[in-house]
């Protein structure tokens, strides 16, 4: 059900994560969020960080904001995106072990920056029935939402990537393991929706990854990935707006494929997911799939495209962003188009200042197109010349 983007033309947002401030030195580790918030040093740093993220997004004038994934630890390659759930769900041990080489389809040789990422995949194992445990997503969302009047989007990794990465001493099959994580996440996300979260984002169903890797067997296949997505979000669209985020990976802001990938082989399957919005990488792929997005994705879904590149420190010019949006509008109606980043910008590789000015450029570029279409402009305080420290600035 559309809520945050209902009746909005060309709304702006980002995927989720943002670079940590240098002074944010506290980490959750294996503690629950609510337990950590009892500690005055963690609470002060966490709340200040979330407040900073929200303030900077509001200065840029994004329409939908995030908490920057501030609950993630400062780790190699943004590993917390994967290991936060198993470190806080029930049914996992508290004795994290290195993930064997090749598990989950990831293999990078020593000497490659992403081999460090593989060495950092130190994950708890499953030893009993998986439950939602102490994920506490609703508490995190409330901490952010009470600091802003704008809707706070909250995202989580999907069940497949968690299940692929961990060792299992309890379930008899990978399918049983995935579905156990699926059902636990569904329960957690219903609590989040019931708390009032207007946008819940399921991150990285493996539909597009399986399509490009040509992986199809009796269990691991795009059809099962669609089933997993729909089971994870079952019942949520009656309560909130559901987004499906897709990208091609970005640990340490690195590309995970030698060549730029296309979504075309996965679009028919993605059409079957129970979501209001599907997000796609676009600018880092040169917009190669824009026409396909518009032609294949059904009209009951909105389409969010990345117009700023999470891999690059080069801040996009507003004019470049505007041109990408114009290209998209040839195939996607303005009432269905959302502008975002290709992926998160906080997975160990980008400075806060780079991320901030990319967000500012996103809004300025969108404003150029809004003006051409006769739409209201966002007031971007970050670009207001009246407050420049350089004499004579207009």
- List, in order of start, the domains of the chain with CATH numbers: 33-382 (3.20.20.210)
The answer, yes or no, to whether residue 41 has pLDDT greater than 90, is: yes
Task: Say how far apart CA 299 and CA 293 lie, in whole Å.
Answer: 11
Q: What is the DSSP letter of 375?
A: P
Other beta carbons within 10 angstroms of residue 147's beta carbon come to: 18
**Residue 276 C-beta-side C-alpha neighbours within 13 Å:** 20
Can you tell me the distance from the alpha carbon of 231 to that of 27, in angstroms, rounded to the nearest whole number?
32
Residue 103 has pLDDT above 80, yes or no: no
Residue 226 is inside which H or E element, if any? helix 222-232
Contacts of 149 (CB under 8 A, 6+ apart): none
| Integer angstrom CA distances of residue 179 from 87, 174, 227, 230, 340 | 18, 9, 10, 11, 30
Instruction: Enter the DSSP assignment of 12.
Output: B
> Which tens digit of pLDDT belongs to each residue from 239-261?
999 999 999 988 999 988 888 99
- Give SS3 for 278: strand
**pTM of this prediction exceeds 0.75:** yes
Q: Read off the pLDDT of residues 143-161 as tens digits, 9 standing for 90 and up.
A: 999 999 999 999 999 999 9
Residue with tokens 């129970």: 274
Supply 232's token pair. 């994870």
Rounded percentage of the chain residues whose pLDDT exceeds 90: 92
pLDDT of residue 105: 72
Long-range contacts of 215-219 (CB under 8 A, 24+ apart): 215/105, 219/173, 219/174, 219/175
d(CA 351, CA 14): 16
């Amino acid at each position: 059900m559309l809520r945050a983007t209902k009746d909005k033309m060309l709304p702006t947002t980002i995927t989720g994560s943002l670079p940590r401030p240098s002074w944010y030195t506290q980490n959750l580790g294996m503690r629950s969020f609510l337990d950590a918030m009892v500690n005055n040093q963690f609470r002060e740093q966490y709340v200040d960080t979330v407040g900073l993220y929200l303030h900077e997004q509001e200065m840029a004038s994004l329409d939908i904001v995030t908490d920057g994934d501030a609950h993630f630890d400062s780790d190699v390659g943004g590993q917390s995106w994967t290991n936060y759930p198993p470190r806080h769900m029930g049914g996992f041990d508290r004795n994290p072990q290195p993930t064997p080489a090749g598990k989950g389809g990831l293999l990078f040789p020593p000497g490659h920056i992403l081999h460090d990422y593989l060495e950092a995949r130190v994950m708890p194992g499953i030893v009993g029935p998986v439950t939602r445990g102490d994920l506490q997503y609703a508490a995190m969302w409330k901490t952010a939402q009470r600091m802003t009047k704008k809707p706070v989007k909250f995202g989580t990794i999907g069940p497949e990537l968690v299940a692929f990465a961990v060792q299992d001493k309890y379930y008899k099959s990978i399918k049983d393991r995935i579905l156990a994580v699926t059902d636990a996440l569904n329960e957690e996300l219903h609590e989040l929706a019931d708390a009032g979260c207007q946008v819940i984002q399921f991150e990285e169903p493996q539909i597009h990854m399986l399509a490009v890797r040509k992986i199809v067997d009796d269990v691991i296949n795009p059809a099962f990935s669609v089933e997993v997505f729909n089971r994870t979000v079952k019942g949520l669209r009656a309560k909130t707006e559901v987004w499906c985020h897709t990208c091609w990976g970005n640990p340490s802001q690195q590309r995970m494929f030698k060549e730029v990938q296309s979504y075309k082989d996965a679009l028919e399957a993605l059409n079957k997911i129970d979501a209001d919005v599907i997000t796609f990488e676009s600018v880092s792929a040169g917009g190669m799939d824009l026409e396909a997005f518009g032609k294949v994705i059904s009209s009951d879904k909105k389409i969010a495209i990345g117009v700023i590149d999470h891999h690059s420190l080069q801040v996009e010019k507003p004019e470049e962003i505007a041109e990408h949006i114009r290209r998209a509008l040839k195939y996607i109606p303005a009432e269905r188009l959302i502008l975002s980043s290709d992926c998160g910008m906080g997975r160990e590789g980008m400075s806060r200042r780079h991320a901030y000015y990319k967000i500012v450029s996103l809004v300025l570029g969108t404003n150029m197109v809004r003006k051409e279409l006769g739409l209201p402009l966002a007031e971007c305080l970050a670009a207001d010349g009246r407050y420049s420290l350089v004499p004579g600035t207009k």
